[in-house]
Structure formats: C-alpha cells, structure tokens
Amino acid sequence: MASWNSVPLEITYEVLGWIAFVAWSISFYPQVILNFRRKSVVGLNFDFVVLNLTKHSSYLIYNATLYFSSAVQKQYRDKYGSGEMIPVAANDVAFSTHAVILTAITLFQIAIYERGAQKVSKISLAIVSAVWLAAGVCFFIALPKHSWLWLISIFNGIQVFMTVIKYIPQAFMNFRRKSTDGFSIGNILLDFSGGVANYAQMTVQSIDQNSWVNFYGNIGKTLLSLISIFFDLLFMCQHFLLYPGRRELIPPKTVKAIEPLMQSSDRTETESENV
C-alpha cells in the first residue's frame, strides 16, 4: 500500500481537502437561506437543481464505494499499480453525502415556495431518467464478473456529464432575464474556492508520489474541478459585470395581489375626473 513520502505535503493535502469540503458544503446554504427569506424560488432554475441532485448522488456512489470497499480498491490497484494511493479521501465522501442532503432540501423548497410559472423541463426529466436507466443496465452488466471498478467509473462519468450540463440552464436563464436576482452569488464564490482547493489537493498528492496517475486515475474529480471553476467564473462575470443590478423581482403572486389594487385606484381616479 502506498504511503506519503513527505509529512508536510501529507498535512497540506489533508488541510486542502477539508478546505474544499468546508467551502463546497457551506456553498449550499446561501441559496437555501435566500429561498427561505424570500419564501420564493423565482430566479433559481429548477433544471439546475434536478440535474444537480443526480450529479451528487452518482458522485456519492463513486466516492463511498471506492473509499470503503476493499474489493474495489484492489481492482483499482490492479489496474493502476499496487503502489498507487486511492484517489478518494474522507472529505470527498463527507462532501458528497452532505451535498445530496442539501440539494434534496433545495428541491423541497421548490415544491413549497412561490415559483411562478416555472416547471422542471421535460428535457431534464428525460435526461435524468435515461441516466439512471443506463446506470441500472450497467449494474447488471458488471454483476456476473464483479466489474465493480468499471461500474463506479460509470457513475463517475455520470457525475462529470451532469456537471457539464447542470450549469447551462441557470446560465441561460440569467442571460435571458439579464439578472442574477434569486440566484445566490455566495454559492458561486464558495464553490469556486472549493474547486481551487480540490485541484490543489490533487496536485499536492501527485507531487509527493511523483506520479500524475492521481489525475487520470480519477478523471472525474479532475474534470469536476475544472468545469466547476469555469462556470463559477461565468456566473461571477454575469453577476458583477454583465448584470450588476440588484433589483428585487416581484413574484407572480405578489403581482396578482397588487393588480386589483392598482385597477381599483385607476377606477377611483377616473370617477373623480368624471365628477
């Protein structure tokens, strides 16, 4: 079993890992708190949340299986070399578990808070259904030969695919509305910090082991960091440069409540003018 060559690098690795865990974990709360305070999810794209739940669920399956299963760890070392370290740390498992819970809470908020006319798109529902159906088929393919490493690599691939597409609906929605109101920028800033720390953690391990297998042996984690950082930069550009206005949008129910009062006021003014 592989071990660390440098104690300082090992400590740095652990610190960076938990920095990424804390930043990524806290990143879910600004949106949840914003939804709670507004009692509205107007401005938050529902497809983003649904795709995100599938993404984190598949990532949890990958991380937890590779971290806890000795059989899968053996298959990993047989493939990449007996001296290679497992590229999943305790903070990866902790983050994935926390992410699934908080994303599910956000989905629950969508069900109970003011959401206007927005619905989860049929395209997103079709994508999620197809992904889990494919995962089920892969399970039965892997079962006869116990190809568990191959199977969890499928889940790793799923989380990378979902990471690529999950941000697109929210980015397009911001562009269409010319506003990021209702979408928490605090979420993005923390997510960006976690992505940078996660990538730095992998680099530290590679330097210590004098091997870059850590990157292509866990390509999902590598792409996760790079893709997240790219979209975080895009959202920051939208929020701070393209659409810096912080005007509150009036939820549809509020508008409906105000319209009768406005119409009543208009009638009163008209009657006064006639008199």
For residue 216, being part of any structural domain is answered with yes
Mean pLDDT of 4-11: 91
The better pLDDT of the pair 91, 161 is held by: 161
CA–CA dist 57, 96 (Å, integer): 7
Mean pLDDT of 248-258: 46
Mean pLDDT of 174-194: 92
Residue 271 above 60 pLDDT?
no
Q: What is the pLDDT of residue 215?
A: 76
The better pLDDT of the pair 222, 93 is held by: 93
Report helix angle 46-68 to 219-237, nearest 10: 150
Q: What is the pLDDT of residue 262?
A: 42
Q: What is the pLDDT of residue 247?
A: 55
Q: Among 58-72, 105-119, 159-173, 247-261, which is the least confidently predicted range?
A: 247-261
Report the Cα–Cα distance between both ends of the chain, in Å, rounded.
94
Rg (CA), the chain: 23
For residue 265, being part of any structural domain is answered with yes
- Cβ atoms < 10 Å from Cβ of 68: 11
For residue 202, being part of any structural domain is answered with yes
| Predicted confidence (pLDDT) per residue in 69-83, tens digit | 999 999 998 988 867
| Predicted confidence (pLDDT) per residue in 46-65, tens digit | 999 999 999 999 999 999 99
Q: Where in the sequence is the domain holding 241, given as residue range(s)?
A: 7-274
Residue 275 above 50 pLDDT?
no
For residue 158, being part of any structural domain is answered with yes
Mean pLDDT of 137-153: 95
Give percent of the chain with pLDDT exceeding 70. 87
For residue 24, being part of any structural domain is answered with yes
Sequence-distant (≥ 6) Cβ neighbours of residue 215 within 8 angstroms? 202, 206, 222
Bridge partners for 40 per DSSP: 114
The residue among 176, 177, 172, 193 whose CA lies nearest residue 235 is: 172
Residue 176 above 50 pLDDT?
yes
Q: Among 29-33, 36-40, 83-87, 122-126, which is the least confidently predicted range?
A: 83-87
Residue 258 above 70 pLDDT?
no
Burial 147-158 (b: 16+ CB within 10 A, else e): ebbebbbbbbbb
Question: What is the chain's mean pLDDT, rounded?
Answer: 86
| Predicted confidence (pLDDT) per residue in 82-120, tens digit | 677 788 888 889 889 999 999 999 999 999 999 999 999
The residue among 109, 120, 121, 239 whose CA lies nearest residue 183 is: 239
Mean pLDDT of 128-154: 96
Q: What is the pLDDT of residue 272?
A: 47
Q: Among 47-56, 117-126, 173-182, 266-275, which is the least confidently predicted range?
A: 266-275
Residue 218 above 70 pLDDT?
no
For residue 1, being part of any structural domain is answered with no
The domain tally of the chain equals 1
Mean pLDDT of 214-220: 70
Residue 12 above 90 pLDDT?
yes
For residue 122, being part of any structural domain is answered with yes
For residue 2, being part of any structural domain is answered with no
